[in-house]
Amino acid sequence: MLSLKKYLTEGLLQFTILLSLIGVRVDVDTYLTSQLPPLREIILGPSSAYTQTQFHNLRNTLDGYGIHPKSIDLDNYFTARRLLSQVRALDRFQVPTTEVNAWLVHRDPEGSVSGSQPSSGLTLESSSGLQDVTGPDNGVRESETEQGFSEDLEDLGAVAPPVSGDLTKEDIDLIDILWRQDIDLGAGREIFDYSHRQKEQDVDKDLRDGAEQEDTWSGEGAEALARNLLVDGETGESFPAQFPADISSITEAVPSESEPPGLQNNLLSPLLTGTESPFDLEQQWQDLMSIMEMQAMEVNTSTNEILYNAPSGDPLSTNYSLAPNTPINQNVSLHQASLGGCSQDFSLFSPEAESLPVASGSTLLPLLPSNSTSLNSSFGSTNLAGLFFPPQLNGTANDTAGPELPDPLGGLLDEAMLDEISLMDLAIEEGFNPVQASQLEEEFDSDSGLSLDSSHSPSSLSSSEGSSSSSSSSSSSSSSSSSSSSSSASSSASSSFSEEGAVGYSSDSETLDLEEAEGAVGYQPEYSKFCRMSYQDPSQLSCLPYLEHVGHNHTYNMAPSALDSADLPPPSGLKKGSKEKQADFLDKQMSRDEHRARAMKIPFTNDKIINLPVEEFNELLSKYQLSEAQLSLIRDIRRRGKNKMAAQNCRKRKLDTILNLERDVEDLQRDKARLLREKVEFLRSLRQMKQKVQSLYQEVFGRLRDENGRPYSPSQYALQYAGDGSVLLIPRTLADQQARRQERKPKDRRK
């Protein structure tokens, strides 16, 4: 008992602390900025649930107060222990590895178009994007929460404009083109058919909804295994969809320290070096699949061939050549991919070649789009600098923009991921179903609201209202006689009005008993009238509006049967033995105060003593000639009765708070999973953007010619993007200086 209380108390305290910790450590807002207002609200909400007022608000506004978990079959589900274990599991760090492979299982079949919007907006160069930024755990969650992703992105105002739903004519054309190109590979048209896949998504979602709502997470492993095979849409080949990426991969992939300058690779930005080039087969397949999903396609043939065919030499890379051959809408992908923070990439454009001699005469060669037709063709409609650089960033923009790249990629992943991983583990552990996270949030609410839902049932409704209004019932009902209505906090939420009616009738029968006592105490006819008026007719009671809000257990001292028969004169037909037995039984049914009241010959029921409003109670006392002992007992009975109900309410409230907190925890977990998914997608998109920018850079640079018609040496010159949208060709040394300046600045800022 004591331990339980400690348990609850400690649990709540711990939970509060953990919530605050969540708010601090899981501050995704820092990198998603103002896009995520709900998180803070969610975080702040639960903590405020501890206040009484908040609690009442919760009870009044959320209709979640209804069911008493004890009352119905939700006991096991909504126990404080479960919540507390859940809470305590928050700080646990687990890295389940077996479910890693689920990452793309959902993604490919269902989310190809709508589910991967950010990716689709970023077009094809995702071969390196296969090295995803998430760790295994994230992959798991990602797969399980994939469905609601597009929705979530919309909520966040995410990177790419939503592709889903309405396809533009260009999109349809692209689909057609891709389909025609792919048809010889055995690709079905439906791969590109959004509506078709949407149906598939729906079906799939429905299936999984049903399955997952029933399934406990114990079966998740097998399920994950079952889903674990990716099926190639073209070949029908099944292969394990591993989620190979490591969190650190992206951070490793970003900087390139050892890139040898001079060759074609020299043009590659450091973003595309080292770790990204050795692709896993699975990664490439994943990319391929994602590519197939994308409708806004490729940028440039040569770029892609340079970027992807060259380093990998993988047979899969031939697939990538499909897209480049297509006439594409470059702008689509670029515009869709426009990300604010991409400017940082450019700081890395010219890091190598520090030792290279300064270029001769021309220090800055402004490359306006009009200067080159080829350049114009590729950049003409897409203002690269405008897209990727904030306007304030001109030639020195790299100073501020550049160094941010490692931070969001590395920092977020390294620091936040761990917390998130643990949280998501918790979510999975506790049966939280991230698959339906965002899309099925409502179902979840109703799910967790099973208790809430049942609050709409008559029984729980009465208890809900009773408890919520219990604080005001005394004042509101003080003007009336009544208060015999009881929804009873202790009647385990099942005390309906019938029970109240029973009380009312029992009161009526009490008056009979009372009449017997009249002689001794002095009968007041007014009181009899009063009692009958107040208690005789249950329907009368129900007509009194305030009675609907009275939540007290007016039968608190007696079982209804006891009330019914205790004060009744025993039926004359009963034998003496049974009478005695019944009396014993009733005696046992009566509470101590009942016994005391009876011993003291208190002329009215404990029910009245306890529940009458003060004025009426005092009036009642004044009508009787009561001894000091009787008065004292009556007041004690009243006090104890009030306190008993208060204790019941208090416990109920406490339990309710716990349940609300549990629900809040689930909500937080859900949001966290969603945010994590989004973060992963954002990072992936970011990387794809970098690749695209790099490819464009290569293309532009490769087409530049000096006065003699010779190409510029990448080791001596570098392109730089000005804030006004122009692209400048500057010597490497200059670019390196700027890059170094950028590297220094963030360090200073950190200090």
Partner DNA sequence: CAAACCTGTCATTCC
Partner DNA sequence: TGGGAATGACAGGTT
Binding residues for DNA (CB under 7 A): 1-5, 9, 52, 55, 70, 81, 470-471, 473-474, 490, 492, 556, 591-593, 613-614, 617, 636, 638-651, 653-654
Q: How far is CA 113 from the centre of its chain?
A: 23
CB 304 within 8 A of CB 321: yes
Q: How far apart are CA 257 and CA 158, in angstroms?
A: 32
The nearest distance, CB 651 to DNA, in angstroms, is 6
> 80-88 and 628-703 helices cross at what angle (nearest 10)?
40
Taking the CB of residue 97, how many other CB atoms lie within 10 A of it? 11
The nearest distance, CB 490 to DNA, in angstroms, is 5
The nearest distance, CB 669 to DNA, in angstroms, is 24
Distances (CA, A) of 158 to 119, 161, 341, 571, 585: 11, 7, 13, 78, 70
Nearer to DNA, 323 or 637 (CB): 637
The nearest distance, CB 588 to DNA, in angstroms, is 8
The nearest distance, CB 127 to DNA, in angstroms, is 55
Nearer to DNA, 654 or 703 (CB): 654
The nearest distance, CB 297 to DNA, in angstroms, is 59
For the chain, what is the radius of gyration of the CA atoms?
36
Taking the CB of residue 371, how many other CB atoms lie within 10 A of it? 13
Taking the CB of residue 200, how many other CB atoms lie within 10 A of it? 15
Nearer to DNA, 415 or 615 (CB): 615
Nearer to DNA, 203 or 647 (CB): 647
Q: Which amino acid type is present at position 12?
A: L
Nearer to DNA, 2 or 599 (CB): 2
The nearest distance, CB 653 to DNA, in angstroms, is 5
* Cα dihedral 738, 742, 744, 748 sign: positive
User: Which two tokens mark 601?
Assistant: 């010959």
Nearer to DNA, 5 or 199 (CB): 5
User: Which DSSP symbol is given to 601?
Assistant: T
Nearer to DNA, 45 or 262 (CB): 45
706 contacts: CB under 8 Å, gap ≥ 6: 712
Where would I find the H helices in 480-575?
A: 497-521, 525-535, 538-543, 560-566
The nearest distance, CB 581 to DNA, in angstroms, is 17
The nearest distance, CB 645 to DNA, in angstroms, is 7
- Structural element, H or E, at residue 727: strand 727-731
Nearer to DNA, 474 or 480 (CB): 474
> 104: closest CA among 221, 239, 247?
239
Adjacency order of strands within the sheet including 365-367: 365-367, 727-731, 717-721
User: Which DSSP symbol is given to 345?
Assistant: G
Nearer to DNA, 362 or 643 (CB): 643
Residue 56: burial class (beta carbons within 10 Å; 0-12, 13-18, 19+): middle
DSSP track, 393-438: -STTHHHHHGGGTHIIIIIIIIIIHHHHHHHHHHHHHTT--GGGTT
Nearer to DNA, 35 or 471 (CB): 471
Nearer to DNA, 326 or 471 (CB): 471
165 contacts: CB under 8 Å, gap ≥ 6: 114
Nearer to DNA, 83 or 323 (CB): 83
CB 432 within 8 A of CB 670: yes
> 702: closest CA among 380, 396, 378, 382?
378
Tokens 């009556």 sit on residue: 634
Nearer to DNA, 283 or 648 (CB): 648
User: Which two tokens mark 510?
Assistant: 């009490």
Q: How far apart are CA 67 and CA 310, in angstroms?
A: 65
Nearer to DNA, 92 or 595 (CB): 595
Q: Which amino acid type is present at position 504?
A: G
Nearer to DNA, 119 or 488 (CB): 488
The nearest distance, CB 53 to DNA, in angstroms, is 10
Nearer to DNA, 376 or 475 (CB): 475
The nearest distance, CB 647 to DNA, in angstroms, is 3
Nearer to DNA, 181 or 474 (CB): 474
Nearer to DNA, 4 or 95 (CB): 4
The nearest distance, CB 489 to DNA, in angstroms, is 8
Residue 263: burial class (beta carbons within 10 Å; 0-12, 13-18, 19+): exposed
The nearest distance, CB 19 to DNA, in angstroms, is 18
> 136-144 and 628-703 helices cross at what angle (nearest 10)?
110
560 contacts: CB under 8 Å, gap ≥ 6: 499, 502, 503, 506
The nearest distance, CB 618 to DNA, in angstroms, is 7
Distances (CA, A) of 167 to 31, 123, 161, 577: 30, 16, 12, 87
Q: How far apart are CA 292 and CA 630, in angstroms?
A: 87
Beta-bridge mates of residue 718: 730
Residue 646: burial class (beta carbons within 10 Å; 0-12, 13-18, 19+): middle
Taking the CB of residue 10, how many other CB atoms lie within 10 A of it? 14
The nearest distance, CB 56 to DNA, in angstroms, is 7
Taking the CB of residue 143, how many other CB atoms lie within 10 A of it? 27
